Amino acid sequence: MTLTATVNAKKPGSGTPTGSVTFMDGAAELGSATLVDGTGSIATSNLVAGSHSITVSYGGDTNFTTGSGKLKQKVAQAATATAVTVTGPSTTPVSGQSVSFAVTVSVSGAGAGTPTGKSASRTVKSSWGRPH
């Protein structure tokens, strides 16, 4: 996500502010940017899904005083795809033999991350191949 701030002269003043702006999410600093033609931008991946209180502070320069602005920013969860892979034994089990399966959960896409939560594993005894 890119955050951009533009610092303007307050009328009836004129000119283009120089210096830098600092972006905050609550008490956490997201980054600082040097103003170019009065505008500064940062790229951040630190904003998780949810509501954020963003503050931008301007440090001032020799012609302009300090200032700040606030906004509420809502960040939506990015789309992901989840895949579940089950791997069984590499050989055919004998009737009554314990068999284990491995389960792997993975995600992909813009909102990819590490899957969390509970998984269960179970060893089962095979029952196929018995004569009837």
Q: Is residue 132 part of a domain?
A: no
Same domain, 34 and 8: yes
Residues 6+ apart with CB under 8 A from 103: 84, 85, 86, 87, 119, 121
57 within 8 A of 25, measured Cβ to Cβ: no
For residue 97, the enclosing domain spans 81-125
Cα angle value 32/37/40 (rounded, 5°): 20
Q: Which two tokens stand for residue 68?
A: 């700040």
Q: Which amino acid, residue 27? A: A
Number of domains in the chain: 2
Same domain, 88 and 54: no
Q: Is residue 131 part of a domain?
A: no
Q: What is the pLDDT of residue 123?
A: 59
Closest CA to 33 of 2, 66, 10, 64: 2
Q: The CATH number of the domain where 25 resides is what? A: 2.60.40
Q: Is residue 30 part of a domain?
A: yes
The residue that leads in pLDDT, 103 or 19, is 19
Same domain, 61 and 114: no
Q: What is the mean pLDDT of the chain?
A: 83
Q: What is the pLDDT of residue 39?
A: 95
Same domain, 9 and 57: yes
pLDDT over 90 (residue 132) = no
DSSP codes joined into one string, 33-69? EE-BTTEEEEE-----SEEEEEEEEE---SSS--EEE
Percentage of residues in the chain with pLDDT exceeding 70? 83
Q: What is the pLDDT of residue 96?
A: 76
Confidence band of 42 (pLDDT split at 50, 70, 90): very high
